[in-house]
Structure formats: structure tokens, C-alpha cells
Amino acid sequence: MKKLMIAALAACSIGAYAADNTCAPGEAPVPTLVYKFKATVYTPKGITRTEAAVPGSVCLPGDTGTAGGTNVIRAKDKTKFAGWIYDCNATCDTVATGSIVVWDSKRKAQLNEAAIDSKFIHVIGKKQKDAEWRWDLTGGAATYNYGVATYTLNLAGFGKYSAKKGFYTSFKGNFAGDVDAVTYVPKGRPSSADDCVPAGYWLCTDLTTLDTTDAAVAYGCWSVKYSKSASKKFNRNGYLKVPNYVVVAGE
């Protein structure tokens, strides 16, 4: 793990980092809110036609794959997303309007240009303690031994609102969406689309020819929870802990 520094003058833009961020070390930022994001993502991986698994991939190592992915097929798999939602200029609905940084903790891939597209967020219930939230998450995961997998996820769930604290404190729900053709680059080879082939699938009308045209499914469950400790640390020094493979622009 390493510390992610969010500085006012840094040109950092993992996700949608605010250019006027005031959380640099040594400064006195306005109240901040930081939320921990987690998701379990069910989405296909690639395996060989002989059922030998290629973990987390949709391409064969070496040059045994062929154009069209005739030697690699899709198979059920799941992975884990983690991340932070934060804002230095906190408001009651920061969870829906703040910046987000997300990574795939199983496949060790950063979700580049991750962004929140909030459709609506409401306080509900007679006691004004419950909440509902509908939002979209998009971004492309990439690392040295994977290609780029662009996710488009539609999320919805119930949560909690604290009038005493003045903000939403937690949410959990489900999502569904898709991921475009995922690729795999064997370790030790350049990260290039030329090194791999897409995983194929069959149509029920033709079980002899693999197709690679359509995107793959991505669905699962998610949660967002206010982190008091992370908020205090971020407010004090402008740092968030992220894995080493999450790259800050300018590093």
C-alpha cells in the first residue's frame, strides 16, 4: 500500500479529482468526507478450449491464440473492487457528488478515469433516517498483465442518513452492467493488444463458431460507508491509502 496525496497544485486526475482541492499537507482544508467503496463483481474470465484455466484472462499465453478467439472462451468468474469517495468541500450529499478512485483488488488493476454519475439521491422514511441512491460507475481497468476492460455499471441501493452528522453515512445495494472485450497480456510481454485475443462465446443457433462481438456481463453487490478515521487523516494531511499499482498522475 502507498499514500495517495491529493494536492491543490498537483495535476492529479485519477477519476475526477477536483482541481481546486484544498487538502494539501500543511494547509487548513474545509471539512472533508471520505467513504470506503467496495464491490463484488461477477464477470467472465477466459479459459482455453481444453478447460485449462488462464486466471483472470481472456487470452492465451504465447502465440497459441488465433484471431477471433477460437482457442479462448468465456467462463464465469468474480473479482473485487475497492476504492474511496471523497471531497474536500464536503456537503450533505458528498457521497453522490465527490471524486472517486477505484481499483480491482483481485486483478490488481486501477479503474482509470473512474467517475460517479449520480442520477438521484434522497432521504426517505418517516424518521428521515433512511435513503435511496441511484448512480452509474464507469471506468477502464488496466495493468501490465491485463489489457483494458471498460466497465459500465448501473448501481442502486438503500442507505442511511444522519441529520445529526448532516450527511449520508452508508449505502449498500446491487448493480448490473457490462464490460467490453477484456484482454490478457502474459507476464514478461509488452502490454499490447497484439499479444492476445478476445474470449469468445457461442450463439445457441451455432455451437461450432465462437463470436467475440458482444460485451460481457458484469453484476454484483456494492457498499459505501463513511470512514471517520480516513476522513480525519485526509482532512489533516491530504492522504488516502491506495495499492502500489494505483498511479497518481505526475508520479
Cα(47)–Cα(80) distance, rounded to whole angstroms? Answer: 19
Is residue 21's pLDDT more than 80? Answer: no
- 172-197 pLDDT tens trace: 999 999 988 655 444 444 444 445 56
% of the chain residues with pLDDT over 90:
36
| Residue 112 confidence (pLDDT) | 77
Cα(12)–Cα(128) distance, rounded to whole angstroms? Answer: 37
Is residue 120's pLDDT more than 90? Answer: yes
Averaged over 12-33, what is the pLDDT? 43
Q: What is the pTM of this model?
A: 0.78
What ranges do the domains of the chain cover? 2-42+77-192+219-242
Is residue 118's pLDDT more than 90? Answer: yes
**Higher per-residue pLDDT: 34 or 145:** 34
| Residue 124 confidence (pLDDT) | 97
Q: What angle do CA 199, 204, 208 make, to 5 degrees?
A: 60
The answer to whether the CB of 169 falls within 8 A of the CB of 161 is: yes
DSSP letter string over 98-111? SEEEEEETTTTEEE
3-state secondary structure of 138: strand
Is residue 56's pLDDT more than 80? Answer: no
**Higher per-residue pLDDT: 25 or 216:** 216
The answer to whether the CB of 82 falls within 8 A of the CB of 102 is: yes
Is residue 214's pLDDT more than 80? Answer: yes
CA 12, distance to chain mean position in Å, is 17
Residue corresponding to grid cell 441511484? 134
- Mean pLDDT score of the chain, rounded to an integer? 75
**Band of pLDDT at residue 27, cut at 50, 70 and 90:** very low
Q: What angle do CA 231, 101, 19 make, to 5 degrees?
A: 80
The answer to whether the CB of 158 falls within 8 A of the CB of 122 is: no
CB atoms within 10 A of CB 129: 14
**Higher per-residue pLDDT: 44 or 251:** 44
Averaged over 24-44, what is the pLDDT? 76
Least confident of 121-125, 174-178, 195-199, 230-234: 195-199
Least confident of 9-18, 53-62, 84-93, 135-144: 9-18
Averaged over 219-239, what is the pLDDT? 91
| 213 conformational bin, left if phi > 0, alpha if psi -120 to 50, beta if neither | alpha
Averaged over 103-111, what is the pLDDT? 84
- 128-143 pLDDT tens trace: 999 999 999 988 776 4
| Residue 174 confidence (pLDDT) | 98
